[in-house]
Amino acid sequence: MEGLSISPTQPEAKRVKELQAECKKLEKYQEEGIAEDALAASQSKVPAHILTGFLGSGKTTLLNHILRETHGKRFAVIENEFGEIGIDDKLIARREDLGAEQIIEMNNGCICCTVRGDLIQGLRSILKKTALDGNKLDGVIIETTGLADPAPVAQTFFADDLIQARMTLDGIITVVDAKHCLQHLREEKPEGVENEAVEQLAFADRIIVNKTDLVDAAELEGLTYEVRKINAVAPMIYTQNSKVAVDEIIGIRGFSLDRVLESDTEFLKDDQDHQHDQSVSSVGIECPGECDQEKLNIWIATLLRERGVDIFRTKGVLAVKGCNQRFVFQGIHMIFGGQPQDDWPEEEERVNRLIFIGRNLDREELQRGFRSTLVTYIGP
């Protein structure tokens, strides 16, 4: 038996080589993972900004403006082109000159229509590169196609464990064309087909009304009225050529309810006259009292299970019985999350504040459902 050798063509030898190759891959992944973990431990989550708006509204101009005005900061950019032809090399080079650290181009269709795995892969690639080069990233900007529904893009930051651990969604910025926005909002769609312009406004944390020089004061007032029917919460910024103070749209913590309340304590005050005959609207609820945690969980879970398709955004700051901290929650369709945050000041009355933005919302039903969760209800 001496001198017996195993031929490399035998199945066992082939399998050994395969296992050795797998081990090398695992070692590489482990090294990269250690680098990523080390970076994650040394810096806070990377903020992500979703830039959306209908075709021709001025998103690309705004993106260039952001990069130009944040010189010295490191942003990664994910661009989504609808169609087979993507952005050209000159545009990419110009973006890099403006300060974009990485450009990932997705031109295999609209982000919201394709498998979300493509976006997750792009975000993970950014995290990996950042971890390996050891440099802190100041943010990621995702520019969607004008035909995109921003909901699936936003849900990515809550649906993937790694992305949720390493990134935080700063806000959804929607750009509208003051001249043509009403035309898009009023467009009749086939049954079952969503109006993207309406969806983009409904999900917005900031609304930039661009090209205001193309309309008169009366037209602008009419547009504002119509936009407020859809989203009564998001601050509106009026501009020309997409020029806006960057600190009004970057670092806004639009998904932080505390920040929303700080900037606009009246954000739940709805003008009910604006809600008539609108399929997409907002409903605000504000009332004192304390919630029963179990009843609250059951109500929210049932509501989103039964009506989650029609409820685009949910935000709230609640007083929960037995908890000295504000309970802050948010939801996108059926994805929901919340946690206690700052303590309630002793001298401050504990008032629950919620906002729902969605389609065919029943104000009375929502108010009645929430009040059923209260241990004590003070009000009409």
At 74-115, the pLDDT tens digits run 888 887 654 333 333 333 334 455 445 555 555 444 444 443
Q: Structural domain of residue 251, as residue ranges?
A: 39-255
Q: Answer yes or no: do 349 and 317 share one domain.
A: yes
**93 domain-assigned:** yes
- Helix, strand and coil percent figures for the chain, each rounded to 5: 40, 25, 35
21 within a domain of the structure (yes/no): no
Predicted TM-score (pTM) of the model is 0.64
**Which CATH number fits the domain that encloses residue 172?**
3.40.50.300
Decide which of 193, 225, 255 is a domain's last residue.
Answer: 255
Domains identified in the chain, total number: 2
Which of the pair, 341 or 167, is modelled with greater confidence?
167
pLDDT per residue over 217-276, tens digit each? 999 999 999 999 888 888 999 999 999 998 899 988 876 645 444 544 444 443 333 232
At 368, is the pLDDT very low, low, confident or very high (cuts 50, 70, 90)? Answer: very high
Please state, in angstroms and rounded to a whole number, the distance separating the CA atoms of residues 124 and 22.
21
Considering the domain boundaries, does residue 192 fall inside one? yes
Residues 131, 164 within the same domain: yes
Q: What pLDDT was estimated at residue 137?
A: 82
CA distance linking residue 88 with residue 109, whole number of Å: 17
Is 106 within 8 Å of 80 (Cβ atoms)? yes
Least confident of 12-16, 307-311, 322-326, 343-347: 12-16
Q: How confident is the model at residue 162 (pLDDT cuts 50, 70, 90)?
A: confident
CATH of residue 341: 3.30.1220.10
Residues 122 and 251 in one domain: yes
Residue 261 lies in a domain: no
Question: Average of pLDDT values for 201-229?
Answer: 93
Does 136 score more than 50 pLDDT?
A: yes
Q: Select from 255, 283, 306 the last residue of a domain.
A: 255
Examine the domain organization and report whether 103 and 204 are in the same domain: yes
pLDDT for 226 equals 93
Exposure of 259 by Cβ count < 10 A (0-12 exposed, 13-18 middle, 19+ buried)?
middle
Give the number of residues written for the chain.
380
Cross-strand pairs, 285: 354
Q: Given pLDDT bands bounded at 50, 70 and 90, which one contains residue 380? A: low
196 domain-assigned: yes
Average pLDDT over residues 285-302: 90
The Cα 177–Cα 56 span in angstroms is 7
Q: Is residue 132 a contact partner of residue 37, using CB atoms and an 8 Å limit?
A: no
